[in-house]
């Protein structure tokens, strides 16, 4: 894995005559091609039809099948992660929407067939700040989201004919920031899969935990879910994700959470939303609920919800 940008890219980041010290004012990396920011030597997503590409797809499919979680550790370079945080954090502090809510694992006010006091409907608190993609349109995460080879690669790994960018400029890319004491609590996703990119890891806490096999599309297993929520069992997996890791996660039937962040360094994660049909937008009600504002007027072809927006 590359640990720094090559000299040609570094000169673009700092400027050819800037000092290399930490105090140098860095030029935005939006001028740098994605090929120079991602480790495409280890993850050759840009060369479909080749042996290395086929091997990568095969390995990723196997990992996703066996664990439910695909991790491409070091996909984005350390320098690109640092620059992303430096560009996005001021926007987060100025315009980030503070979202805090009490919810059950289903993100539903009620579940048919369950009494309101059923232990499977136990409440948890999720809290984070969110910046929408329209506020960081030239950032590295948004450019990576729009990079056609990435979208085609994820479709290939998931066995999809094609994936489309989300039409909704607010929701297509979200960057979530979890500060000390904040967490993403237990839930099932409403979408089949989620794609994330960790830009900054906290010094402590902020671990990703997930439990496969709790339910399926034919059996909700409410009693099993209730037992799990009383205390995670030995089948619960815990992952400390490193900065620059691109993840593909199938969370529709897998309970998962991010544990509370500890310390003064937050956890910053980008969430990419791709769909099998074009033109997907959140409804105005969903936009206001998730982000405190609505985007430009436009009819939604399909209203969707995704758990990791909570």
**pLDDT for position 22:** 35
- Using alpha carbons, select from 236, 267, 244 the residue that is nearest to residue 42: 244
* pLDDT category of residue 6 using cuts at 50, 70 and 90: very low
Mean pLDDT of the chain: 88
Backbone angle region of 147, left / alpha / beta, with phi > 0 → left and psi within -120 to 50 → alpha? beta
């990576």: which residue's tokens? Answer: 144
**pLDDT for position 31:** 72
In the chain, beta strands by DSSP E: 69-72, 97-103, 124-132, 164-165, 173-178, 184-187, 194-200, 204-205, 208-211, 237-239, 246-249, 255-258, 261-262, 267-272, 274-275
Read off the pLDDT of residues 227-269 as tens digits, 9 standing for 90 and up: 999 988 999 999 999 999 999 999 999 999 999 999 999 999 9
Read off the pLDDT of residues 262-304 as tens digits, 9 standing for 90 and up: 999 999 999 999 999 999 999 999 999 899 999 876 534 454 5
pTM for the full model? 0.87
CB atoms near residue 58 (< 10 Å): 11
**pLDDT for position 295:** 87
Of the chain, the percentage scoring pLDDT greater than 70 comes to 86
Q: How far apart are CA 99 and CA 107, in angstroms?
A: 14
Q: How far apart are CA 176 and CA 23, in angstroms?
A: 27
Q: Does domain 35-309 bear CATH number 3.40.50.1100?
A: no
**pLDDT for position 13:** 34
pLDDT of 307 higher than 50 = no
**pLDDT for position 308:** 56
Read off the pLDDT of residues 38-88 as tens digits, 9 standing for 90 and up: 999 999 999 999 999 999 999 999 999 999 999 999 999 999 999 999 999
* pLDDT category of residue 138 using cuts at 50, 70 and 90: very high
Burial state string for 116-144 with b = 16 or more CB within 10 A and e = fewer than 16:
eeeebbeebebbbbbbbbbbbeebbbbbb
């Amino acid at each position: 894995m590359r640990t720094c940008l090559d000299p040609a890219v570094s000169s673009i980041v700092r400027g050819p005559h800037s000092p290399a010290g930490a105090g140098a004012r860095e030029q935005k990396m939006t001028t740098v091609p994605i090929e120079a920011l991602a480790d495409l030597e280890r993850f050759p997503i840009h060369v479909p039809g080749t042996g290395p590409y086929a091997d990568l797809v095969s390995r990723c499919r196997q990992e996703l099948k066996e664990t439910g979680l695909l991790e491409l550790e070091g996909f984005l370079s350390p320098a690109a992660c640092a620059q992303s945080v430096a560009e996005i954090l001021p926007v987060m502090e100025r315009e980030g929407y503070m979202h805090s809510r009490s919810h059950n694992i289903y993100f539903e006010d009620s579940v048919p067939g369950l009494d309101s006091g059923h232990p499977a409907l136990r409440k948890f608190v999720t809290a984070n700040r969110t910046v929408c993609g329209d506020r960081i349109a030239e950032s590295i995460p948004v450019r990576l989201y729009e990079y056609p080879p990435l979208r085609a690669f994820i479709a290939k790994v998931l066995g999809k004919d094609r994936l489309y960018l989300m039409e909704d400029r607010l929701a297509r890319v979200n960057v979530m920031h979890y500060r000390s004491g904040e967490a993403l609590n237990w839930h099932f996703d409403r979408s089949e899969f989620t794609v994330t990119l960790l830009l900054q890891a906290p010094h402590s806490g902020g671990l990703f935990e997930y439990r496969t096999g709790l339910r399926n599309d034919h059996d909700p297993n409410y009693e099993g879910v209730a037992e799990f929520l009383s205390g995670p069992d030995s089948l619960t997996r815990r992952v400390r994700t490193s900065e620059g890791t691109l993840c593909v996660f199938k969370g529709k039937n897998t309970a998962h959470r991010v544990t509370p962040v500890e310390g003064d360094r937050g956890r910053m994660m980008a969430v990419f939303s791709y769909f099998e049909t074009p033109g997907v937008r959140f409804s105005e009600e969903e936009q206001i609920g998730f982000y405190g504002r609505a985007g430009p007027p436009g009819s939604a072809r399909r209203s969707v919800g995704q758990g990791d927006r909570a």
